[in-house]
């Protein structure tokens, strides 16, 4: 559906994106991640035809973004970082205008507008001037304009930025609802969002692609270490005994009854620790496993990389 090959964009001497290649299949919901200034928005702008790359190619539905820009633009709904709104128009008139601009047939215009208003829960404010709406509503109008032409591909650049937690949850539900109807590319800083809605993740850092994989594979990327948080009733230092158990890498006694134990990532070690606690009648009160989640992967891939870069 989307094929990006060796994409490069430079601003003078600075590389905004450097040799990025990836492929997105039909129906995928892709999370585009990266720290600020990593090149996420630039990549999105190139795919939408808003910006030209310095070199490389991008194809959408088989059409080259630069050779057939009009065909590509017909198939894409794009929400930029700042929603492209005409503040002096009403919500309904604005969506009608966008539908017509996107060359939707006259017959389908009205039904498309209705459906976009319904999906984004804007029916109550359809006759209001956009200027007078709150930020959350403006963002929803932005999402509605991306949806209104029923495009095959939806590109949403930080759709939840500036929204309150309830609105964020609503947008997440909306994206979940849109799954299957569109191929979606989503950039955000909220990693739990990505975990909740995406089936594929692309991480860009300093203009380079450092990860392109499915959510399941990324969760398998966990480092071969797990941290156990243990709380016992027995007010006695058990650190030495814990260290004796095979597979335990380090023990940190947080307070007289609580420990953070770093173990090799296998179930046998966890079982051995539990058995030891039961045998010593230490009284297990609480045990939790700190799993490597997406945030850890993201941080280890991006921030560790920048530290390495600094060292170099």
Partner 1 sequence: MRSVWIIFKKEFLGFFSSPLFFLMAFVATVLFSITFSMGIQNFATLLSNGMYQMGANPQQLNIHYAVFLQHLSLVNLLFIFFTPALAMRLLAEEKKNRSFDLLMTSPITSWQIVLSKYLSLITVLFAIEILAFIYIFFAQQMFQFDLLPTILTGTGIFLVGAVYASMSLFASSLTDNPMVAFIIGIVLNLGLWIFGGLADFTDHVAYKKIIEQISVNQHLQLMIDGIFKTSSIVFFISIIFFFCFLCERVIESSRWRST
Judged by the rule CB under 8 A, the positions of this chain that interact with partner 1 are 11-12, 48-52, 69-71, 73-74, 76, 78, 80, 82-88, 97-98, 100-103, 145
Identify which of residues 70 and 312 has a Cβ nearer to partner 1 in the complex: 70
Nearest approach in angstroms of CB 103 to partner 1 is 5
Strand bridging mode 153-157 / 183-187 = parallel
- Judged by beta carbon, residue 100 or residue 164, the one nearer partner 1 is 100
Residue from 76, 56, 60 nearest 68 by CA: 60
In whole angstroms, the minimum distance from the beta carbon of 44 to partner 1 comes to 10
Closest distance to partner 1 from the beta carbon of 29 (Å): 20
Q: Let me know the angle formed at the C-alpha of 53 by 52 and 59, rounded to the nearest 5 degrees.
A: 85
Q: Which is nearer to partner 1, 131 or 220 (CB)?
A: 131
- Contact partners, residue 32, CB within 8 Å, separation at least 6: 40, 43, 44, 185, 186, 187, 202, 204
Distance CA 232, CA 254 (A): 12
Residue 84 CB, shortest distance to partner 1, in Å, is 4
Q: Are strands 258-264 and 248-255 parallel, antiparallel or unpaired?
A: antiparallel
DSSP state letter for 179? B
- Compare residues 56 and 80 and give the one whose CB is closer to partner 1: 80
In the complex, the smallest distance separating the C-beta of residue 1 from partner 1, rounded to whole angstroms, is 17
Distance of CA 39 to the CA centre of its chain: 14
Output the smallest distance, CB 62 to partner 1, in A: 16
Sheet holding 2-11, edge to edge: 14-24, 2-11, 55-60, 63-64
SS3 state of residue 10: strand
Min dist CB 13 to partner 1, Å, is: 12
Q: Which is nearer to partner 1, 102 or 172 (CB)?
A: 102
Of 77 and 238, the one with the shorter C-beta distance to partner 1 is 77
**Nearer to partner 1 (CB atom), residue 35 or residue 49:** 49
Q: Residue 288 has which token pair?
A: 């939790």
Residue that the structure tokens 């398998």 belong to? 220
């Amino acid at each position: 559906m989307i094929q990006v090959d060796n994409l490069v964009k430079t601003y003078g001497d600075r590389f905004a994106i450097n040799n990025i290649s990836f492929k997105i299949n039909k129906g995928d919901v892709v999370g585009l991640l990266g720290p600020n200034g990593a090149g996420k928005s630039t990549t999105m702008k190139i795919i939408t035809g808003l910006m030209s790359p310095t070199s490389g190619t991008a194809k959408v539905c088989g059409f080259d973004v630069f050779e057939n820009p009009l065909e590509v633009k017909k198939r894409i709904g794009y929400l930029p970082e700042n929603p492209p709104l005409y503040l002096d128009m009403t919500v309904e008139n604005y969506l009608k205008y966008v539908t017509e601009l996107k060359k939707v047939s006259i017959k389908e215009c009205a039904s498309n507008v209705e459906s976009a208003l319904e999906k984004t829960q804007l029916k109550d404010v359809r006759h209001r001037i956009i200027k007078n709406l709150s930020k959350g509503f403006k963002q929803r109008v932005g999402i509605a304009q991306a949806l209104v032409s029923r495009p095959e591909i939806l590109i949403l650049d930080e759709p939840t930025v500036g929204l309150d937690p309830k609105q964020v949850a609503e947008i997440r539900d909306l994206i979940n609802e849109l799954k299957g109807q569109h191929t979606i590319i989503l950039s955000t800083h909220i990693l739990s969002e990505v975990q909740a809605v995406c089936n594929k993740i692309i991480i860009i850092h300093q203009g380079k692609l450092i990860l392109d994989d499915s959510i399941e594979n990324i969760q398998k990327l966990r480092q071969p270490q797990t941290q156990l948080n243990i709380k016992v009733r027995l007010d006695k230092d058990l650190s030495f005994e814990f260290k004796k158990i095979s597979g335990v890498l380090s023990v940190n006694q947080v307070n007289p009854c609580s420990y953070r134990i770093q173990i090799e990532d296998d179930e046998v070690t966890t079982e051995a620790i539990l058995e030891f606690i039961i045998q010593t009648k230490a009284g297990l009160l609480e045990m939790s496993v700190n799993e490597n989640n997406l945030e850890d992967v993201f941080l280890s891939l991006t921030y560790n990389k920048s530290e390495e870069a600094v060292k170099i």
